[in-house]
Structure 1
Amino acid sequence: MTDANPLDDPAVSPFDVARLAADRIAELTGAEHHDLALTLGSGWGKAAELVGETTAEFPATEVPGFSKPALEGHVGTIRSILTTDGKRALVIGARTHYYEGHGVRRVAHSVRTAAATGAKTMILTNGAGGIKEHWTPGTPVLISDHINLTADSPLEGATFIDLTDLYSARLREVARSIDPSLDDGVYVQFRGPHYETPAEVQMAKTIGGHIVGMSTALEAIAAREAGMEVLGFSLITNLAAGISPTPLSHQEVIDAGREAESVISALLAKVVAAI
């Protein structure tokens, strides 16, 4: 596919593109239906190998509406996996971040496509900065709620969606049944791509945030619009600016993800099996 993307045409419905994408996924995988979907962010990629048997894998760019990932740590593929209990999981390793400047439709496309394949559960993962000082790099944290500071929304027109229980309490309890030590927190999505300043981190803390990052919130809203139940996980890759005594770097994020990969991937695979 070229850089021309049907989602960039305001006259085209993003849901029509999602249905086309779902049809293409069915063609490429031989699976007409998927039960759940996972977006694997920085540090979470190995989970795809533990969830079950991969029956199909292909570049996301073979599917209408998808873009090549701009960020190291995202594999750029879509997998169809048969879990041990016979469910079909769609694993998305091709996240489009808001800061890439392609518009919020492309950000939400993977989630809308997952819903169009039939998935009822959406698991969103990311690598993020932690505000709680006792969270060491490599700590997985459940997302209990979010604050969207992008000043944008995936919803178009007069579309009013209740977000009271956006991040499923039921699914968080399932996760805690696997690991009772899991903490949770409120995720704050900034626009990026620059890291937050210490003052912005303190603002996030003051308004109730515990985790800062550049993804997930917009996708979660789109998932709720599509009627999906949402589970959110952050891997704390570093303490946030002003909380950490050292300057932030993307390499730190990559390194923390690699070090924690085996542990958090095994955790996520067990959670998927329990859902």
Structure 2
Amino acid sequence: MTSVKMFREESIEDVIDGYSYERIESISKFLLDRTKQRPEIGIICGTGMGGLADMLEDKEIFPYKDIPDFPVSTVPGHSGRLVFGNLNGKSIICMQGRFHVYEGYSVWKCAMPVRVMKLIGVKTLIVTNAAGGLNRNFTVGDIMFIKDHINFPGFGGDNPLRGRNDDRWGPRFPPMSNAYDLGLRQLARTVAKELNLEKYLQEGVYCMLGGPSYETVSEMMALTLLGADAVGMSTAHEVIAARHCGIRVFGMSLITNICVMEHDSEKPLANHEEVMETGNRRRKDLEKLVTGIIMKLDTV
């Protein structure tokens, strides 16, 4: 496939309002015209978790650079491909790599692929991420089911829904009290028990910061006081966009490091290599868990 990507500066209207419904519709049409898949399940792979897309059979792969008006991933551990395929008879669309605000993209653009998924036909979204553990009861390699999030960029008005609201997506003021579907969390816990993964399971609140610098000790202590159990640089904006347009969401974080919260500590500090290493080490368990959830989705 030849590249149709053309880089251009964002206009003021793009920055404030994002792409129009029609523009996102054209992206979804571009994809639907080139695949026979009609997925109702979407997966967003976090850092080091791109192997989730490799599970799919009969794959049809679209590099982000070949999709009109799509951003590209610039972070190690994010392959930068949209993958269509089948898993146990179910059609899936998988983002093998996501976009982050620290890469220079507007927050609405980082969440824009979720709206593309909506127009493709996705009804359920599974979001994964690598996160630092703030909760003292967490250990490296734990899997935290996300029950809620704290969207710190949103505190300053940097929300993916900023700008004019198009009612074709959803209401002007969507509630977020049910952002992470309770039924899906209960289903995931049942699957984890069947796979003997209970000892690695946690449930908690994910906090999104902008990055790319990791947090200071004082910042992490403050986040703990606010009720955060894990911290990362993604996910919340994607979930907001999904819930706005009626997609139900299951989210989970792989705890790849434990945050150091003592000033002048000599403990090893967080680094991207550690995140990648932990993701690779727990890859098979995550793949089994996601597969099990997808197999039982019809029950909730």
TM-score, scaled relative to structure 1 = 0.92
**1:3 aligns to what?**
7
Q: Which runs of 5+ in 1 are unaligned?
A: none
Quote how far apart the aligned CAs of 1:7 are.
8.3
- Alpha-carbon distance between aligned partners in 2 of 1:104 and 1:195, rounded to the nearest angstrom: 19
| Aligned counterparts of 1:210 and 1:12: Cα–Cα separation in 2 | 31
CA RMSD after TM alignment: 1.9
Query: Within 1, Cα distance between the matches of 2:72 and 2:19?
Result: 21
Aligned to 1:163: 176
Q: Secondary structure at the match of 2:186?
A: helix
The one-letter code matched in structure 2 to 1:195 is Y
Matches within 5 A, 1:152-231: 152-155=158-161, 156-157=163-164, 159-180=172-193, 181=198, 182-231=201-250
Distance between the aligned counterparts of 1:167 and 1:149, measured in 2? 17
Distance in 2, Cα, partners of 1:172 & 1:138:
19
Mapped partners of 1:7, 1:208: distance in 2: 38
Post-superposition Cα deviations, 1:3-43, rounded to whole Å, max 9, x if no partner, equal 22778753764432321121111122223x32110000113
Residue 119 (structure 1) aligned to one of 117, 122, 137 = 122
Give the structure 2 partner of residue 64 of structure 1.
68
1:101 deviates by 2.0
1: CA distance, partners of 2:254 / 2:11:
30
Summarize deviations over 1:26-74 as a string: whole Å, max 9, x none: 122223x321100001132112233x41331120222223222111111
1:259 alignment partner AA: R
Alpha-carbon distance in 1 for matches of 2:50, 2:44: 9
Count, aligned residues: 272
Hey, what does 2:149 align to over in structure 1? Answer: 146
Q: Once the 2 structures are TM-superposed, how far is the Cα of residue 2 of structure 1 from its aligned partner? A: 2.1
Task: Please give the alpha-carbon distance, in whole angstroms, between the structure 2 residues aligned to 1:8 and 1:106.
Answer: 13
Identify which range, 244-253 or 176-185, moves more after superposition: 244-253
Q: Give SS of 1:82's match.
A: strand
Query: What's 1:268 paired with?
Result: 290
Identity in percent = 31
CA distance in 1, matches of 2:13, 2:26: 15
Does residue 30 in structure 1 map to residue 33 in structure 2? Answer: no
Structure 2 residues not aligned, in runs of 5+: 166-171
Highest CA radius of gyration, 1 or 2?
Answer: 2
Specify the alignment match of 1:103 in structure 2.
106
